[in-house]
Amino acid sequence: MVFGMGPLLAAGVMAPSALAEDAGCEGSPDVPFFVDPAPQPPVATSDGVKNGATHYTLTAQKGVHRFSSAWPAVPSLGYNGAGYLGPTIVTQKGKPVIVTLKNGLPKGQMFPWDKPDDVNNVIVHRHGGLQAVKDDGVPGQEVAVGTTRDYYYPNSQPAAPLWYHDHAMDVTSYRVYEGLAGFMPNTDAIEPWLNLPKGDYAKAYVLQDKTFNAYGSLCYSHNEPEFFGDLPVINGVVAPVQSVDARKYKVTFINGSDSRFMHMTLKLNGPAGTGSVTAPAMTVVGSDEGYLRNPTKVNDLLIAPGERYTVVVNFAGHKGQSWVLANDAAAPYPDGGGAPDNDRTGRLMAFQVGTRPVIDLSSVPPLIVTAENGGTALQLLQARLRTVQAGEIGGMPMLGDKKSLHMFMDKVTETPKLGSTEVWAMRNWSPDTHPFHEHLVSLRLIARWRATFDEVTHLPTWIGPMEPPKAFESGPKDTFVSPKNYITAWVGTYKIGGTSVWHCHLLSHEDTSMMRPLTIGTTAQTWLPWVYTRANLDKLVRQP
Ligand SMILES: [Cu+2]
């Protein structure tokens, strides 16, 4: 079934506002906001021990799910009998885990928008996990209907808000939209001592946007190169409400959208009453790959698809109030025509603060010291500089090395030596901001430079001053907001050998052509210049 705007426009049908956001769906019906409670996915229980590792099974299945209590249950995908998403698998540093993925999907076309030649293969990728290539869950490792595959996770990395999602070749965006994703946080010996809110006072939310048909069934159109839904869906529920006490909560945000960036603030939804109308304080304590050395207060938070932030939100002093998690990020980000509808994707979820008295003994440490979140000077001293680029050919977003853009199947160009450290400087001359993600490596943001690029050669014609990362994005990460007309640089040490991928985490872009192989091999990259210092990096990025 082919969706598209062409026939509609040709027939002279006026485009309602929803069509501006999503050319293939008519737009979601009205649905009550902030009525349904925000669920937390169940925590998975192990089904035993396998080869000395704690064993879990994830069975991908077609089922049904109610995205709103106003609608009936509708077809969707999930794991282990959940109609949508999967259970939370909590892993622990030093304790290996084996996850068996079973493909329990039906054969044949599952949803009207699925590709007719789609054979419903699945893959589980533990995003942010430092696992061997054979266990990474990347295109080429497809698990066919009725078969299984084991993934071994050594969990030798620090506490981090990892998540899992389907990564099947060319259909990742479809499978994640249909429901194949879940939380897989890794914890360690340090985390319990941080005295952050825990138990019922720790929540995780996967932030998504979706469009629905008249009776609440999913609608999706692979509007290459992006898809934007017109309603917020948090943990599988449209615009839910979270009841909280007037105290601190640890909240993990995961942007699991296809293409929508979210620029979030807390806005009073009433009543002010006697509480403070200054928004509950948000302190970012962690990001993709671990804790920040210096937790940092923010008034607003930009989160791109694939990124995670762990935030302590303090509702003390706000008894009886309702606070909306608002979003004002344009779609496509940053200056697409689809500004969020103030009544829809502009309001993601609400926090209803209770009135009962509470004692809150949790605290936000001013300093969290881990091996992974210190200064990056030593890494820069040992790093070589690799320049990569993002652009478009004929409207198709693509990645490339320093010289040119490449297709996914083209010869690998990103080939760090095992054990080496590289800074990647991403020249983004495309018309969009993209979140770039490398597999197999924990990374840190180093700097950005505003830049202009030649329209023909795409080489920088002007480069502004070096801009340090913002405090909240300076911790361990694996996915980076790379603004258009910017050079964005990150650093990492490659400790896992083999071939995996790096890609844009706008899932539609990843499926279209914005993914490239990443081979960590044995050849020293001697043609790449040494970085040594930030000052030298600033000089190097200015060389053509
Ligand atoms: Cu992209």
Give the start-to-end residue ranges of the domains of the chain: 41-187, 194-353, 377-540
pLDDT per residue over 373-386, tens digit each? Answer: 999 999 999 999 99
How close is the Cα of 85 to the center of ligand 1, in Å? 23
Considering Cα of 206, then 211, then 215, then 221, what sign does the dihedral take?
Answer: negative
DSSP label of 452 = E
How close is the Cα of 107 to the center of ligand 1, in Å? 30
Q: What is the pTM of this model?
A: 0.94
Which CATH class name applies to 41-187?
mainly beta
Q: What is the pLDDT of residue 272?
A: 78
How close is the Cα of 429 to the center of ligand 1, in Å? 12
How close is the Cα of 340 to the center of ligand 1, in Å? 19
Q: What is the pLDDT of residue 15?
A: 32
Neighbours of 90 (CB within 10 A): 13
How close is the Cα of 336 to the center of ligand 1, in Å? 13
Within 394-533, strands assigned E span 396-401, 405-406, 421-428, 434-438, 443-453, 460-467, 479-482, 486-493, 498-504, 515-520
How close is the Cα of 101 to the center of ligand 1, in Å? 28
What 3-state DSSP class applies to 133? helix
How close is the Cα of 81 to the center of ligand 1, in Å? 32
Q: What is the CA radius of gyration of the chain?
A: 22
How close is the Cα of 435 to the center of ligand 1, in Å? 6
How close is the Cα of 305 to the center of ligand 1, in Å? 10
How close is the Cα of 437 to the center of ligand 1, in Å? 10
Q: How far is CA 431 from CA 255, 331, 332, 405, 507, in A?
A: 21, 12, 10, 15, 17
How close is the Cα of 514 to the center of ligand 1, in Å? 7
How close is the Cα of 433 to the center of ligand 1, in Å? 7
Structure tokens at 403: 């010289």
How close is the Cα of 236 to the center of ligand 1, in Å? 24
264: left (phi over 0), alpha (psi -120 to 50) or beta: beta
- Domain 194-353: assigned CATH number: 2.60.40.420
How close is the Cα of 406 to the center of ligand 1, in Å? 14
How close is the Cα of 315 to the center of ligand 1, in Å? 35
How close is the Cα of 503 to the center of ligand 1, in Å? 8
Per-residue pLDDT of the chain (544 residues), as tens digits, is 233 333 322 332 333 333 333 447 899 999 999 999 999 999 999 999 999 999 999 999 999 999 999 999 999 999 999 999 999 999 999 999 999 999 999 999 999 999 999 999 999 999 999 999 999 999 899 999 999 999 999 999 999 999 999 999 999 999 999 999 999 999 999 999 999 999 999 999 999 999 999 999 999 987 778 999 999 999 999 999 999 999 999 999 999 999 999 999 999 997 777 778 899 999 999 999 999 999 999 999 999 999 999 999 999 999 999 999 999 999 999 987 777 888 899 999 999 999 999 999 999 999 999 999 999 999 999 999 999 999 999 989 999 999 999 999 999 999 999 999 999 999 999 999 999 999 999 999 999 999 999 999 999 999 999 999 999 999 999 999 999 999 999 999 999 999 999 999 999 999 988 999 999 999 999 999 999 999 999 999 999 8
How close is the Cα of 96 to the center of ligand 1, in Å? 33
Q: What is the pLDDT of residue 14?
A: 30
For residue 530, the number of C-alpha atoms closer than 13 Å in the C-beta half-sphere is: 5
How close is the Cα of 506 to the center of ligand 1, in Å? 5
| Domains 194-353 and 377-540 fall in the same CATH topology | yes
How close is the Cα of 117 to the center of ligand 1, in Å? 25
The number of residues making up the chain comes to: 544
How close is the Cα of 509 to the center of ligand 1, in Å? 5
Q: What is the pLDDT of residue 16?
A: 34
How close is the Cα of 20 to the center of ligand 1, in Å? 20
How close is the Cα of 434 to the center of ligand 1, in Å? 4
Structure tokens at 384: 């070589």
Of the candidates 440, 525, 454, 537, the one whose C-alpha atom is nearest the C-alpha of residue 488 is 537
Q: What is the pLDDT of residue 11?
A: 30
Q: What is the pLDDT of residue 6?
A: 31
How close is the Cα of 427 to the center of ligand 1, in Å? 13
How close is the Cα of 391 to the center of ligand 1, in Å? 9
How close is the Cα of 48 to the center of ligand 1, in Å? 40
What 3-state DSSP class applies to 304? coil
What's the CATH superfamily of 377-540? Cupredoxins -  blue copper proteins (2.60.40.420)
Pairwise CA distance, residues 478 & 218, whole Å? 30
How close is the Cα of 313 to the center of ligand 1, in Å? 30
How close is the Cα of 7 to the center of ligand 1, in Å? 27
How close is the Cα of 397 to the center of ligand 1, in Å? 7
How close is the Cα of 225 to the center of ligand 1, in Å? 8
Q: Are 310 and 284 in contact (CB under 8 A)?
A: yes
